[in-house]
Chains A and B, each alone.
Chain A
Amino acid sequence: MGHKTALFDSHVKAGGKIVDFGGWDMPIHYGSQIEEHHAVRKHVGMFDVSHMTVVDVLGPGAREYLRRLLANDVDKLKQAGKALYTAMCQEDGGILDDLIVYRMIDGLGQDWYRLVVNCGTREKDLAWIEKQSKNFDVQIAERPQLAMIAIQGPKAIETVVRVLRKAESARVESLSQFEGQFLQKSGEWFVARTGYTGEDGLEIMLPNTDATHFWQQLLDADVIPCGLGARDTLRLEAGMNLYGSDMDESVSPAESAMNWTVVLDKEDREFIGQSALKAEKENGANRQLVGLVLEERGVLRAHQSVLVDGVMTGEVTSGTFSPTLGYSIALARVVKPVGHHCEVEIRKKRHTVKVVRPPFVRNGVKVFK
């Protein structure tokens, strides 16, 4: 028996097929993973993502500490509520986790930050975050009392706006991409225009005690409950990495198509892993993460071998059948250089695949060339 989110009973009631996910009992689907996938691309679906770990960083040293801890620079967050995607690296530049950091402001005008990290890496992350905070004037507080619901799809925002009270709705409608807001000054409800699907949508953190009622309100508003299966096909179509599959401690951001999240050239800070990543940049990373497309029959899957000119040069890190496109797509880490085509070995047979730059799908339509 694993951990259960506040919404566990709601999942069982809705016919969710429960599986173990990083120690949590979570729904993989509620009947049809493909229908759930299409619901998000065409209308609106929702995911229970309460298993993710929320960590608040408070205190006068918070900014300085996070500029040390994270490969992206929290100074890019010009106003409260803004969010940033970043890697957290170890000294050798290997990726410990990827996470979202929000800049917040308290009633006294003091900045604080909220991190949302992966559930499978929770213990490792918390230990690292704690250890690195020793020389900074900060307090670290995990927030297990929060549930999180992601509402995603072209109709996500208008549906949530209908469900919330009027004063709250105005705040939600005014959010720009990658921005969040607390709904009440003293409240715990935090609504952000973020997601992991390649569609517009919201991620809402709320107290565990409010979760069941809100989930039911969304169901009543015709939001389709979606499981982790659809979450995976959606994120892969959107070209988004999954920690543990597409990256881990053994690879750097440059080898994981995450260079855009690394700020190497700021002279007023030194983040953990910086010197290793600088050296890698000077020498050039020798591997890269690319997108693969198989237009014939068959499904690309993690750990299949990738061959360039007949030589094995890497492997698929995530692969699936793309419900939106009707054929298989994948992310693969390969030795540079790789041309416009390569081969993947599926059940001992080699198939020619196209090499593309992810994402594959955004806002319901194919975007790669």
Chain B
Amino acid sequence: MSDVPGELKYLSSHEWLRVEDDGTAFAGITEHAQEAMGDLVFVEVPELKSTITVGEEIGVVESVKAASDIYAAVSGEIVAINEELEDSPEIINNDAYGDGWMFQVKLSDPSELEKLMTADQYLEQINEENE
């Protein structure tokens, strides 16, 4: 079974969000998502300093077998992107919740966090998908 850390927030489209004390959050795709996609070969993340809006398509991950869009879990400004992924997308395969983070966003509306899934809710969803 895939690892689903309890301290993170999730989207049903398999993105995770780790909220920091400074009003920013790190985002990536889940262990379950990388496992389902297989070896990743390209990652496209939003541009530094760009503004994202909750629910919009903001990037893409491509594996050998498929492409999958990345959705914004929250609105805000991109304050950091993981540049390592450009040359080494396999970092996500190896460490989806750690070194495989994709971008850091400064939240413009923290109340959006309430709409995200908890680890338990996300776990329930992927268990259902596996049935």
> Do the beta carbons of A299 and B39 come within 8 Å of each other?
no
Chain A residues within 8 Å of B41, by CB: 34, 299, 321
Chain B residues 61 to 77 lying within 8 A of chain A, measured CB to CB, are 62, 64-65, 67
For the complex, count residues of A whose C-beta is within 8 A of B: 15
20 additional contacts, CB 8 Å, given A299-B62, A320-B64? A28-B38, A29-B38, A32-B38, A32-B39, A32-B93, A33-B38, A33-B39, A33-B64, A33-B65, A34-B39, A34-B64, A34-B90, A229-B38, A297-B42, A298-B42, A299-B42, A301-B67, A321-B41, A321-B42, A347-B67
Across the A-B interface, the 4 shortest Cβ-Cβ residue pairs:
A321-B41, A34-B39, A299-B62, A33-B39
> Do the beta carbons of A229 and B42 come within 8 Å of each other?
no
Chain A residues within 8 Å of B90, by CB: 34
- How far apart are B88's CB and chain A's nearest CB, in angstroms? 12
Chain B residues within 8 Å of A323, by CB: 64
How many CB-defined contacts (below 8 Å) exist between A and B?
A: 35
Chain B residues 1 to 58 lying within 8 A of chain A, measured CB to CB, are 38-39, 41-42, 44
- How far apart are A40's CB and chain B's nearest CB, in angstroms? 14
- How far apart are B7's CB and chain A's nearest CB, in angstroms? 28
Chain B residues within 8 Å of A320, by CB: 64
Given A229, A297, A347, which contacts B65 in the complex, CB threshold below 8 Å?
A229
Check A288 for interface membership: any CB of B closer than 8 A: no
Check A233 for interface membership: any CB of B closer than 8 A: yes
- How far apart are A361's CB and chain B's nearest CB, in angstroms? 15
Chain A residues 257 to 312 lying within 8 A of chain B, measured CB to CB, are 297-299, 301
- How far apart are B43's CB and chain A's nearest CB, in angstroms? 9
Max count, chain B CB within 10 A of own CB: residue among A29, A32, A34: A34
Chain B residues within 8 Å of A321, by CB: 41-42, 62, 64
For A230, the closest partner residue in chain B by CB is B64
- How far apart are B38's CB and chain A's nearest CB, in angstroms? 5
When chains A and B are docked, how far (Å) is the Cα of A298 from the Cα of B39?
15
Chain B residues within 8 Å of A28, by CB: 38, 65
Chain A residues within 8 Å of B93, by CB: 32
Question: Chain A 214-237, CB within 8 Å of chain B: the 1/0 string?
Answer: 000000000000000100010000
Could you name 7 residue pairs across A and B whose Cβ atoms are closer than 8 Å?
A32-B39, A33-B64, A34-B39, A34-B41, A297-B44, A320-B64, A347-B60
> Do the beta carbons of A233 and B64 come within 8 Å of each other?
yes
When chains A and B are docked, how far (Å) is the Cα of A301 from the Cα of B67?
9
When chains A and B are docked, how far (Å) is the Cα of A301 from the Cα of B93?
21
When chains A and B are docked, how far (Å) is the Cα of A301 from the Cα of B41?
13
> Do the beta carbons of B38 and A299 come within 8 Å of each other?
no
When chains A and B are docked, how far (Å) is the Cα of A297 from the Cα of B67?
13
- How far apart are B46's CB and chain A's nearest CB, in angstroms? 15
Question: Chain B 67-110, CB within 8 Å of chain A: the 1/0 string?
Answer: 10000000000000000000000100100000000000000000
For A327, the closest partner residue in chain B by CB is B41
Max count, chain B CB within 10 A of own CB: residue among A29, A229, A321: A321
> Do the beta carbons of B64 and A229 come within 8 Å of each other?
yes
